[in-house]
Structure 1
């Protein structure tokens, strides 16, 4: 029987959405390659590059693990997306950014700028620049195991 559910990546996504909004004064972060209306430029997307990187191999309950999230800024200006990606990188490496996520039980392990990720859309380019964030997370999963309260030893051969 499960006492609690397995890890919810939505909680990390919500924390990143709030972080991007805080950092940029209201710019949005949405899931990459998702359905729905595209927000006004500039906006940021996230994708989960590596959802589970084990730190230990024998822990199942309350396990600590790492995951890599990729953030990509989108705009019509190449310089603007580079500036936003650089600003985002610096913020997640700063005390303020690390503490923001720490308050949500998320540890920033590493932040790497990936650079430009431009796309040709029909006859014009959408400018993109991004970064990858490696995060340390805690899984609250607990396996409720029935205990043996009494047992009887029978000395018969």
Structure 2
């Protein structure tokens, strides 16, 4: 979680997902979509936060729970390999093991998992094969505001008298 008055730290979500993907895939990498830097060797997984904030209770501000939708896409040169990885990822996040891992390591609740299917891309002379899932997650915000504490309250009843 983050410091008070900062809101939710999306880095917590990303770090938890990096660990989860590494665990479920035997050490394969999760990277941010459309980011700079060297692309890892195939296969690897990319994430995109497609909906960073979906309100659950619009009146709650402090300690608010809200939902996030994140897309996970496996990329490789083999269609069946990325389909297998996407299917394994789907099952992991629907399983008790995956749900427990997310809760224990990031305070993240897995709300739902949807298959998104194939997402192949033509690159120069060959196809990059890709398949993925979308995760709907619930997190708790650590935001709090300064509220002046009332230490003493005294009441005077002006109707008492003679």
Q: Same fold (TM over 0.5)?
A: yes
Whole-Å separation in 1 of the counterparts to 2:149 and 2:61 = 18
Q: How does 1:43-122 map to 2 (within 5 A)?
A: 43-103=44-104, 104-122=106-124
Runs of 4+ with >2 A deviation: 145-152
Count of paired positions: 153
Structure having the higher Rg: 2
Contact 1:113-1:130 within 8 A present in 2 as well: yes
1:32 is matched with 33
State the TM-score, normalizing by the size of structure 2: 0.89
Q: CA deviation at 1:25?
A: 1.1
1:6 is matched with 7
Contact 1:3-1:144 within 8 A present in 2 as well: no
Whole-Å separation in 2 of the counterparts to 1:27 and 1:134 = 22
SS in 1 for 2:134: strand
- Pair 1:139 & 2:141 matched: yes
1:3 to 1:75, Cα distance in 2 relative to 1, 3 A? closer
State the TM-score, normalizing by the size of structure 1: 0.91
SS in 2 for 1:72: strand
Compute the RMSD of aligned alpha carbons.
1.8
Contact 1:81-1:129 within 8 A present in 2 as well: yes
2:158 is matched with none
- Consecutive unaligned residues of structure 1, counting only runs of 5 or more, are 153-157
Contact 1:53-1:67 within 8 A present in 2 as well: yes
Q: How does 1:11-22 map to 2 (within 5 A)?
A: 11-22=12-23
Q: CA deviation at 1:150?
A: 6.9
SS in 1 for 2:34: coil
- Consecutive unaligned residues of structure 2, counting only runs of 5 or more, are 155-162
